[in-house]
Amino acid sequence: MTDAALRSGESSSNKQLIEMLVRSRSFRDYESVFTKATGLPLTLRPLEYWQLAHHGKKNENPFCAYLAEHPETLSVCLEAHENMIHQTGDIPHTVTCPFGLTETAVPVKLGGQTIGYLRIGQVLRKSPQRGDTEKVKRTVMEHGVRFTNELRKAWEQNPLIPPDKYGAIVRLLSFFAEQLSALINQIMLERQNAEPPLVQKARKYIDKHKLEPLSLTDVAKAAGASVFHFCKVFHKSTGLRFTDYVARVRLDDARTQLLNPSRRISEVAYDVGFQSLTQFNRTFKRVFGQSPTEFRAHLDNGERPKNPGR
């Protein structure tokens, strides 16, 4: 098993756990109250996320939304996002982007491992002065984007949260991150206790070998069961046939890779374990209700990916 395959398996697993938390009532209720109280968007994202954290959210900062429409400035924002994530350890990390806005990542953990981040930001922590505006103007124009009156107005109307109040908000999010960590640890414990051991072994084996050809016989053998018994127990526990489960595991990886616009669809299809582009396109549409090309088009339009139930 290569390091790349192991990392890919961990990434897919973390992504599924974060999606589970995002769908939970605890997160949805907290997100609603948080946004009403602060006026800021709140997101929960997995470790590997190729887009801007708040893009397409209801309360997205108009100035940031404008920058995200232009590839030149979008690349600057994405680089700042990546640098922040790389610098975030066991505690929240706050940075100021090249356009003068504050962003913060708060880690959410499963056991001692970080699986994702609560993200807030797109705010100023001090009132913008003329010099600040001119600096942002130069930065924007250096990347080939006109600093129009509309963009200037959006910059000057950026939400302002003083440092002490912003610090208190981050502290509250740290408490919430601890609650989410406790929730996902409880869910995982309950799942492990409820799921038959052969299904647990099969899931682990599939995650480790999903980039390789996978046969039903090999997985059943790894799980310590006959093919007949394995199929019966696995379908009852997961609600999916073996081939459908493997396809969904691979498609979860594919959907993450498709968020990177530099990746070709054909490359993604073969990288995640599909044997042909036709098979990949057909299976992707059957599971997600849209083709990979349509999925990317919807992202460009600011739509959120569909999350079919497992």
The string of DSSP codes covering 151-165 is HHHHHHT--B--HHH
Token code pair at residue 281: 């396109």
**pLDDT, greater one: 151 or 48:** 151
Average pLDDT value for residue range 58-80: 87
pLDDT tens digits for range 271-283:
998 989 999 999 9
Residue 172: exposure state from Cβ atoms within 10 A (0-12, 13-18, ≥19): middle
Taking residue 35's Cβ as centre, other Cβ atoms within 10 Å add up to: 15
pLDDT bin (cut points 50, 70, 90) of residue 12 is low
Secondary structure of residue 226 in the 3-state scheme: coil
Average pLDDT value for residue range 66-70: 87
Residue 76's identity, in one-letter code, is V
What are 63's strand-pairing partners? none
Average pLDDT value for residue range 21-33: 90
CA–CA dist 271, 234 (Å, integer): 26
Residues 6+ apart with CB under 8 A from 233: 196, 198, 199, 225
Whether 249 contacts 10, CB under 8 Å: no
Secondary structure of residue 146 in the 3-state scheme: coil
Q: How many CA atoms lie within 13 A of 133 on its CB side?
A: 15
DSSP structural state of residue 94: E
Domains and CATH numbers, the chain: 3-191 (3.30.450), 196-300 (1.10.10.60)
pLDDT at 108: 92
Question: In terms of DSSP H, where are the helices of 24-162?
Answer: 25-38, 62-68, 71-87, 130-142, 149-156
* pLDDT of 299 higher than 80: no
* pLDDT of 284 higher than 50: yes
**pLDDT, greater one: 68 or 47:** 68
Q: Specify the pairing of strand 43-46 against strand 93-96.
A: unpaired
pLDDT tens digits for range 131-142:
888 999 999 999
* pLDDT of 306 higher than 60: no
pLDDT at 174: 93
pLDDT bin (cut points 50, 70, 90) of residue 300 is low
CA–CA dist 302, 283 (Å, integer): 24
Residue 219: exposure state from Cβ atoms within 10 A (0-12, 13-18, ≥19): buried
The crossing angle, in degrees rounded to 10, of helices 3-23 and 25-38 is 70
Among 109-118, 158-167, 225-234, name the one with the lowest average pLDDT. 109-118
pLDDT tens digits for range 82-136:
878 777 777 888 988 889 999 999 999 888 788 899 999 899 998 888 888 899 9
Token code pair at residue 297: 């088009």
* pLDDT of 205 higher than 90: yes
pLDDT at 3: 42
**pLDDT, greater one: 306 or 121:** 121
What share of the chain has pLDDT > 90, as a percent? Answer: 36
pLDDT at 256: 81
What are 94's strand-pairing partners? 104
